[in-house]
Structure 1
Amino acid sequence: MENTATNSTQNAFSLTQEGPQGIRYDFNDGCRVYVPAGHWRVIIKDLDTHTVLFAQDVNDGFVQSAKRYYVRFGIEIRKDDKLVFSHEMDLKGQPVRIDMRKGGIGDHLAWFGHVAAFAQKHECDLTVDLRSDIRTLVQDEYPTLKLISEDTPEARYYATYTVLVFYNDDKLNHSPVDYREAGLEGNASSILGLSRISRPARITIGEGGRPIEEPYVVIASQASAQNKYWNNPFGWIKLIQELKARGYRVFCIDRERVTGQGTVWNHIPFGAEDKTGALPLSERARWIQHAEFFIGLSSGLSWLAWCVGTTPVVLISGFTRPENEFATPYRVINWHACNGCSNDIRCILDTSNYLWCPRHEGTPRQFECSRLIAPEQVMDIIKTIPNLLEGTP
């Protein structure tokens, strides 16, 4: 329980709540308490676990809890052995902020349902700082939440929480569970103190209804790092050939036709019709909603398909374990290959390395987790989707 006490007074008024005798406190970035010069005894508790987190004499300065995720803190301050101030944290009716702007599309969609549940549970006046494209996608579905995507004049929040993947949080101060073990949804629910159930975000679907009359499939083949790709060189080609032989048109709805770094570049799969470009997420959601099914990777558009909610999602990934993503009966992984490094606490992610493969980088086994996922395996799983067209495979 590493909590800190300092003797600096320069930021006393940055604490937003005022107590008696010059005491200040708030719950922005953990429990923060300031006491002026005097003989004080500061006690901080976790009210839900009945655990004393800090109990120490402080003559002048700050105390800040080590834990920055949601904890229902209690504060007691004594002076000359007399209780002069006590407070039990209660978010009801209070201005609260959740910061998740640094996350990617998949992160935001995995987290936002939990953020909304947090506001409902605590009945707080919640401001959410998030990506502008996600704000546009969800703002009409959550009119009681204040959604922002730009820096605003400093507000006086009672409490602030950051929902993010904390890569080097060895002491688990920012999340009670290591993100690799928590999975993407579990990361948010753990930070916000919620039960670990699935909570898809409600999203706005673009207008226009079904985009084409023929039966079609949408795919998303691009990702932010090479380990997320389906690295079987024949995977997409053979799969698309079979889908088209069965009577489906196949559309790629990635933002980019080509992505990569250095000497490694990934192109739109051969045979897919091109619907790439900077389309709003709501428009891509429209294409997903009316598709027979969606095929993607452990990346943002798969989470978008999950939020659409009515379209079967085929998810291909080997570098993550299935529990890292949302539940789908059409999850594809080859357990015989090396797998799951992203959820292995022994593997330290290097976000600067586009070719990160912690166990086999630079060897013939690099990216075998998805390279050894055969198109036949993917097709076998697709065949379990009800009402699949027979065609002439």
Structure 2
Amino acid sequence: MDGAAGLDARPDQPADPAPVLAKPEVIASAPTPPPAPNFPPPAEQPTEVGPRGLRYDFNFGARVTLPNRTIGKWLVRLRDLDTGNVLFQSENQGAFVRSSKRFFVRFSVEVFDVDGANPPTSILLHDYDARDREVLIQFPIGTLGDTLGWFPYAARFAAVHGCRLTCAMSGLIIPILKDSYPHIRFLTHDQVIEQKVAETAYATYCLGLFFDDVECTQQPTDFRHVGLHRTAGYILGVDPTEESPRLTLPDESRPIAEPYVCIAVQASTQCKQWNNPNGWHEVISYLKSHGYRVICIDQKAVGGQGIVWTHIPHGAEDQTGDRPLAERARWLRHATGFIGTSSGLAWLAWAAGCPVGLISGFTHPTNEFATPYRVINWHACNSCWNDPRLRFDHKDFLWCPRHAGTPRQFECSKLITAAHVIGVMKSVFERANADGQD
């Protein structure tokens, strides 16, 4: 009997008057890994071994393998320990059962032997308990801001559950996090496969933005309601209060002696950029006239598609290029402030402890980390990204779901004036002066 501590709360019998809330996603004679093309798959068979050939785990949801039998039946039940609901119950002569929910649920797995001639016998009772067990949390690659926003919730999960946590993410991000979290193992997706991490994982959770998850199988609530970063807290079942990650940099020294402001003007789609045609020119002129050097830390000096291209603004010093994130974080650590759009470098600035002037209209302020220097024009169309009725199209560089092809296209940021941004940055400078910074 596994998980005996929970026996007092539940009788050693299969009968349960509670309604079954949902059917499992799969009942089959053999397990099939769930479709997750962006993540390494779980082990083909559940990793935990129970009595009489039963196997179970919590990789991509609760999974139970029931061996085939010719006499008698199995009764299998999945229960949510926190809500008390029976989520699934079935009698069968051999099956593979997987819960429909892939996010964190404190499952109970119960299996009974039902042979007809004798009272049902409890064979397995296991309550989820990740303490001292291997847990894998997977982050998508190619996303800087998302990973920085989500990682603190993974660290919080490890602290709450006392598990041995492995985080799979881009190898470009690992160097700035791993030394601050020595109790967590950091691997790339390829290393997860090479080291066969899935073969020993007790539980696996995948973080992401699941736009089309209508039935909420990957996330308990739509990320557009709770915020890009806080969705990880809901997926992992921990406190969703935001927290910036701790960064460890190989060089913490100040890169230049003079006071300076970092900027980032590029973005993966045009709606994320500041589309005021004179905005950057006016802001940079203001900054330089007040004694600040302006450092552009974008990856690329020029970016865009088709006939729309954005160049590094005139007057900004070029620190673009394929450089380690630690180098960009070093610039941000000592900057008086950062001005940018809703992109990965804004999240890096937040993590580095730099005051962030965040220019964005296509996202609602709840979508990103809290900053007193948010710049949004409520008189313009705004927050389309957080409208669940509108499906973001990653392939459409000029995505503007409400006003595409009209004079109002991208007005959410086009109508953000340089005067507005300068006013916000004045507040940053006042705070810096009060704190005795340059």
Common fold by TM > 0.5: yes
Matched, 1:60 2:94: yes
CA distance in 2, matches of 1:180, 1:28: 25
Distance apart, 1:388 and its partner CA? 6.5
Distance apart, 1:36 and its partner CA? 1.5
Equivalent residue for 2:340, pick from 296, 318, 329: 296
Instruction: Spell out, residue by residue over 1:139-177, the C-alpha distance to the aligned partner (whole angstroms, 9 max, x if none).
Output: 111111110012323232110000111121111110011
Three-state SS of the structure 2 residue aligned to 1:218 is: strand
CA contact (8 A) 1:206 1:286 kept: no
Counterpart in the other structure of 2:124: 85
Counterpart in the other structure of 1:313: 356
Counterpart in the other structure of 2:76: 42
Equivalent residue for 1:343, pick from 383, 386, 395: 386
Amino acid at match of 1:153: Q
Counterpart in the other structure of 2:194: 152
Equivalent residue for 1:376, pick from 419, 422, 438: 419
CA distance in 1, matches of 2:341, 2:142: 17
CA contact (8 A) 1:5 1:58 kept: no
Instruction: Spell out, residue by residue over 1:202-236, the C-alpha distance to the aligned partner (whole angstroms, 9 max, x if none).
Output: 11234161111211111011111111000111110
Amino acid at match of 2:101: K
Amino acid at match of 1:54: F
Alpha-carbon spacing, 1:120–1:387, altered in 2? closer, same or farther (3 Å) = closer
Matched, 1:96 2:135: yes
Equivalent residue for 2:170, pick from 99, 117, 131: 131
Distance apart, 1:22 and its partner CA? 1.5
Distance apart, 1:9 and its partner CA? 2.7
Alpha-carbon spacing, 1:65–1:103, altered in 2? closer, same or farther (3 Å) = farther
CA contact (8 A) 1:25 1:32 kept: yes
TM-score, normalised via structure 2 length: 0.86
CA distance in 2, matches of 1:169, 1:5: 18
Alpha-carbon spacing, 1:5–1:132, altered in 2? closer, same or farther (3 Å) = closer
List gaps (5 residues or longer) in structure 2.
1-21, 33-42, 115-119, 434-438
Counterpart in the other structure of 2:63: 32
CA contact (8 A) 2:362 2:382 kept: yes
Three-state SS of the structure 2 residue aligned to 1:219 is: strand
Using the aligned pairs only, state the percent identity. Answer: 48
CA distance in 2, matches of 1:287, 1:129: 27
CA distance in 2, matches of 1:92, 1:59: 32
Equivalent residue for 1:119, pick from 158, 171, 174: 158
CA distance in 2, matches of 1:182, 1:59: 42
How many residues are matched? Answer: 388
CA contact (8 A) 2:342 2:358 kept: yes
Counterpart in the other structure of 2:403: 360
Counterpart in the other structure of 1:7: 28
Counterpart in the other structure of 2:11: none
List gaps (5 residues or longer) in structure 1.
none
Counterpart in the other structure of 2:205: 161
Amino acid at match of 1:16: T
Matched, 1:210 2:249: no
CA contact (8 A) 2:31 2:65 kept: no
Amino acid at match of 1:65: S
Three-state SS of the structure 1 residue aligned to 2:228 is: helix
Distance apart, 1:387 and its partner CA? 5.1
CA contact (8 A) 1:206 1:285 kept: no
CA distance in 1, matches of 2:234, 2:264: 29
Distance apart, 1:195 and its partner CA? 1.1
Amino acid at match of 2:205: Y
Matched, 1:141 2:161: no
Matched, 1:273 2:317: yes
Distance apart, 1:314 and its partner CA? 0.6
Counterpart in the other structure of 1:23: 54
Task: Report the aligned-residue RMSD.
Answer: 1.5
Equivalent residue for 1:323, pick from 359, 366, 378: 366
Counterpart in the other structure of 2:6: none
CA contact (8 A) 1:102 1:164 kept: no
CA distance in 2, matches of 1:67, 1:157: 18
CA distance in 2, matches of 1:174, 1:85: 27
Greater radius of gyration (CA): 2
Alpha-carbon spacing, 1:22–1:388, altered in 2? closer, same or farther (3 Å) = closer
Counterpart in the other structure of 1:69: 103
CA contact (8 A) 1:13 1:24 kept: no
CA distance in 1, matches of 2:252, 2:175: 18
Matched, 1:105 2:132: no
Alpha-carbon spacing, 1:27–1:269, altered in 2? closer, same or farther (3 Å) = same
CA contact (8 A) 1:111 1:185 kept: yes
TM-score, normalised via structure 1 length: 0.96
CA distance in 2, matches of 1:358, 1:340: 11
Counterpart in the other structure of 1:333: 376
Three-state SS of the structure 2 residue aligned to 1:27 is: strand
Three-state SS of the structure 2 residue aligned to 1:188 is: helix
CA distance in 2, matches of 1:54, 1:6: 11
Instruction: Spell out, residue by residue over 1:351-393, the C-alpha distance to the aligned partner (whole angstroms, 9 max, x if none).
Output: 111111111111111111101100111111112222568xxxx
CA distance in 2, matches of 1:276, 1:257: 6
Instruction: Spell out, residue by residue over 1:48-67, the C-alpha distance to the aligned partner (whole angstroms, 9 max, x if none).
Output: 11111001212211111010
Deviates further, 267-276 or 207-216: 207-216
CA distance in 1, matches of 2:249, 2:333: 8
Distance apart, 1:10 and its partner CA? 6.1
